[in-house]
Amino acid sequence: MVSDLREQLDGGSPSFLLFFSGGERDFEALAHSLNEAFPASFLMGCTTCGEICREGVTTGGVTLFAHSGIQKVAGVLREDLFNFRFAEGEQLVVDLLDQGGWAREELLERPQDFLLLVFSDGLSGMEEVLLPSLHHFLPSVPLVGGSAGDDFHFKRTQVALGAKAVSGGVVVALLEPKRPFEVFQTHGYRSSERTLVPTSADPDRRLIHRIDGWPAVEVIAELLGVEVSYLLENEAEVFARRPVVFGLGGEGVYFLRAVMGFRGTSALMGGAVEEGSVLHLMEGVQAAQRIREELLEQASLVDQVEGMLLFQCGGRLRLAKGQGKLSELGEAMCFEEFPCGGFSTYGEHFGPLQLNFTVTGVVFGGPDG
**Whether pTM exceeds 0.85:** yes
Is the per-residue pLDDT at 336 higher than 90? no
pLDDT category of residue 9 using cuts at 50, 70 and 90:
low
> Which residues on adjacent β-strands are paired with residue 250?
253
Provide the angle, in degrees to the nearest 10, between the axes of the packed helices 89-100 and 127-137.
Answer: 50
Q: Is 260 exposed, middle or buried (0-12, 13-18, 19+ CB in 10 A)?
A: buried
Q: Which of 128, 132, 35, 125 lies closest to 93, judged by CA?
A: 132
**What is the identity of the amino acid at 125?**
G
Residues 6+ apart with CB under 8 A from 243: 258, 259, 315, 319, 357
pLDDT tens string 178-223? 889 999 998 888 888 899 999 999 999 999 999 999 999 999 999 9
Answer whether 314's CB lies under 8 Å from 346's CB: yes
**What is the identity of the amino acid at 91?**
Q
Q: State how far the Cα of 260 lies from the Cα of 319, in Å rounded to an integer.
A: 12
Q: State how far the Cα of 359 lies from the Cα of 315, in Å rounded to an integer.
A: 11
Average pLDDT over residues 145-158: 95
Q: State how far the Cα of 116 lies from the Cα of 146, in Å rounded to an integer.
A: 12
- What pLDDT sits at residue 369? 41
Average pLDDT over residues 309-335: 88
Q: State how far the Cα of 142 lies from the Cα of 135, in Å rounded to an integer.
A: 9
Q: State how far the Cα of 21 lies from the Cα of 271, in Å rounded to an integer.
A: 24
